[in-house]
Structure 1
């Protein structure tokens, strides 16, 4: 094999967001596109000469080719070693764990998370820091700066790299280690949860349905839930990772995990249902005729975490993203621990965890995790719920009713308006920001606005400020709505509208009914239809 310097030129639009760079797969397959961005990662982090990296991804189309390209480029740039998942596979939390446990200099994760996969769908790439968490804005900005000036990249050409065989090899002077993508993660989970108690509960007749959505968590769930915990073979469905996710949209919410929802809402539902996403960092929890919102899931886990051996000593603190409901806030208050509110993006939680301030964190977008890694972790959340069920001897519906009786219910919903033309979405948010100063005191039906602002966050650890993180409108009595544009899609803009209202007495309403007045006022203020032409959301969670 020979090392080659390739002449190239900047390619527009390679600015990474909070979850790295996401584009259509065919864009990444274009001439120099992937290579330019990988070289920009290497240069943006100060080079990789002498460094050790983790590389792996969720197995979507182009994952294997991209993994081999990264290995070739790492070798040409002087990396000492790359540790890659067998066949290029690694869930995002498993990659975070390997970065931390093997004390590497970071890692490159190939995924577009919950977005569809395939040659005509989505692909993504991001760099995670030595702490195992997503790169902060200072690093992503440095990477972006390189993409705007890049002239060359280095790569080894020649024979193919064997990603299928476990063990050690070399590429030039660089060592390559191909590892089982599942085993180290499974070992970690066994240190955190009471596997014997969960196994006994399952043996007593508790039936489980885990929908892996033909994505990366299938092998992890099969190894843990079926092989170690003894659930019946077939408890994990859609368990084989496929390049196009079998045509599924690997987003664990009631809209896209509709097969699971139909089963769990049916007459012969299993005791526990769950799903995870493309790269394994998200989760959805469902009981028989009982959907658990991610915000409620975070609160329940916070209230019961000490039943799991890894958290028996208590939580240091908790954190939630600003759009996530305040359900966990009241749990933290009851426990006498700090509750932090951050912008959306796991990197903000990483700072708090690295500083020893929080043990548990979560986002309304189906992401929950703890300080065992520096990413949200879908399988971890599923095991925590199973541990809570095994310890309390309660069903999912009973756990939720008991929780609401103690803390009240935060009725909560997120409405996604997807692929809005970017200029229209920007104009909508700009107009909304222009109204904020005059909204306080205005009354809409029975709702009176108490405060309205454009959320800004001062990081208590590093002192950095993150502005324009979402528009908040809070009504007297605590009901509120939040509006922000999401950066997780690959075309246009997604407007996310979040609505919340606390009820201390009536726990069994349909959330859409309970929140109807808040949502109506929100659309009146935002002027959603006037700007976007939309009258209804694409996804409701």
Structure 2
């Protein structure tokens, strides 16, 4: 029986670039999750009798909210729900399921790379029918609804069995518990040369993937160990855990340091990779070479034709504004489209749907293509293995030859995490106030060529997204970018991106932080990072 439950608004339910993220105790408040889910449904139309996909990354509170969402979907008139077995669906797999089965949309329960546990992070994100994150016009409508909501609809029904594949009913709603892995693994087989990768691994090339006790474990075991023949145990931390085993499931040089050190050791694996909490991020490491996300995008684009799914070439490349310009040089050489967008995968969706771009990437360890409408960690790892197998070269040789052909973009991101929001906002406000006076200013040997607050005009729908990050561009191609991230749950994260282009191969072997030292110092001088935040060094450097 349908129930109308009276409720009161919460003032803090504004979705960020990746949905609503808060600590578990916040989501566990009375009606908190229900308010947001009902606000999603209230902001949509025409879904009566349609299919909704529901799944998450297995973090703490995942199962409880899935049960709430199923009952609410039934009460609001959906006809069918596809839910991942055990409540599990990686974010790219959920996108694929939405697209493959023609679902109306999907609810993804994740806080991506953020920690999980009873006092850690949780999130709810709505994806539209193309499989991608909801555009701003929908997230704005959801937020507006959360501010006035006074009731939600649910069903008086018991929890369902999420662990057994099969079909059952919740009121008039059909609920199908599906294999979380099968559809995604089958898709990967159509895109990459599994035979060549299998032969590479069979030749003794040792591959390891650290799933960080997060969602990609079952996917990586099925693909790497069962389909590609890697030895059992090649996937480390393969069982998804509600608290990610105490790990911080962010695949970078800080949180995946053990994997990095192993690959760099003389007896370690030839190739290492890691993925994050919900499976959309990746890190790739070869013997003697950490691949920056910016370089990863550029190398994948330059070598795309080596993978069967991209053998006819790519239509274009899209990158987020803070991502280095390494991919721009590939696009120029190939004579294809190049797009610079704000941070947030939803901005790539229009370009992919319109056939203007094929491969996309963000500097925050996210890469993907038109096969889904999310970034996809395992896809990127398999693409690299396909490239290594086809070129019969190691990761280090591939990257160094790429630099020789295109030049090297020295690049680093400095994160100042959990900065007091007021201090972070004040820093950005003061920085924006300086923009008009910066062009022409000299800082030692560095001279500012241009400075702006990046705005994006979508070439497909004409929408404009302003204040997407402050750019300081120097003569010679160097730049510093400042922006506040919307992916955390405590305070603000100030991200500072530092980049220098170097065409001379003789200068491609310098340590990255050394190559960028003068730009890093100028970034602090211009923005007053220490003065505003009290921080003398970043929390994380990648």
- Which TM-score tier does this pair reach, normalised by the shorter chain? over 0.9
Q: Distance in 1 between matches of 2:266 and 2:385?
A: 22
Cross-structure match for 2:459 = 460
Cross-structure match for 1:284 = 283
Dislocated runs of 4+, deviation >6 Å: none
Check whether the contact 1:274–1:286 (CA below 8 A) recurs between aligned residues.
yes
Check whether the contact 2:71–2:157 (CA below 8 A) recurs between aligned residues.
no
Q: Per-residue deviation at 1:161?
A: 1.0
Cross-structure match for 1:413 = 412
Structure 1 residue 514 corresponds to structure 2 residue 515: yes
Q: Normalised by the size of structure 2, how large is the TM-score?
A: 0.99
Cross-structure match for 2:366 = 367
Cross-structure match for 1:390 = 389
Check whether the contact 1:290–1:396 (CA below 8 A) recurs between aligned residues.
yes
CA deviations on 1:231-259 (whole Å, 9 max, x unpaired) are 01111000000000000000000001111
Check whether the contact 1:455–1:467 (CA below 8 A) recurs between aligned residues.
yes
Gaps of 5+ in 2: none
User: What is the aligned length?
Assistant: 540
Q: Per-residue deviation at 1:12?
A: 1.1
Q: Distance in 2 between matches of 1:337 and 1:461?
A: 17
Cross-structure match for 1:54 = 53
Cross-structure match for 2:84 = 85
C-alpha distance 151-48 of structure 1, shift in aligned 2 (>3 A): farther
Q: Per-residue deviation at 1:157?
A: 2.3
SS of residue matched to 2:303:
helix
CA RMSD of aligned residues (A): 0.7
Cross-structure match for 2:308 = 309
Check whether the contact 2:448–2:473 (CA below 8 A) recurs between aligned residues.
yes
Cross-structure match for 2:109 = 110
Cross-structure match for 1:470 = 469
Q: Per-residue deviation at 1:18?
A: 1.2
Gaps of 5+ in 1: none
CA deviations on 1:331-373 (whole Å, 9 max, x unpaired) are 1111110111000011111110001100000000000000000
Q: Distance in 1 between matches of 2:461 and 2:48?
A: 28
Check whether the contact 1:455–1:469 (CA below 8 A) recurs between aligned residues.
yes
CA deviations on 1:313-334 (whole Å, 9 max, x unpaired) are 0000001000000000001111
Cross-structure match for 2:427 = 428
C-alpha distance 116-47 of structure 1, shift in aligned 2 (>3 A): farther
Q: Per-residue deviation at 1:47?
A: 6.4
Cross-structure match for 1:540 = 541
Check whether the contact 1:48–1:74 (CA below 8 A) recurs between aligned residues.
no
Q: Distance in 2 between matches of 1:47 and 1:170?
A: 22
SS of residue matched to 1:341:
strand
SS of residue matched to 2:440:
coil
Check whether the contact 1:189–1:380 (CA below 8 A) recurs between aligned residues.
yes
Q: Per-residue deviation at 1:156?
A: 1.3
SS of residue matched to 1:413:
strand
Query: Mean Cα displacement is larger for which, 267-276 or 129-138?
Result: 267-276
Q: Distance in 1 between matches of 2:326 and 2:355?
A: 22
Cross-structure match for 2:348 = 349
Q: Distance in 2 between matches of 1:152 and 1:49?
A: 19
Structure 1 residue 259 corresponds to structure 2 residue 255: no
Cross-structure match for 1:527 = 528
Q: Per-residue deviation at 1:90?
A: 0.1
Cross-structure match for 1:129 = 128
SS of residue matched to 1:435:
helix
Q: Distance in 2 between matches of 1:49 and 1:21?
A: 25
SS of residue matched to 1:426:
helix
Query: Mean Cα displacement is larger for which, 247-256 or 158-167?
Result: 158-167
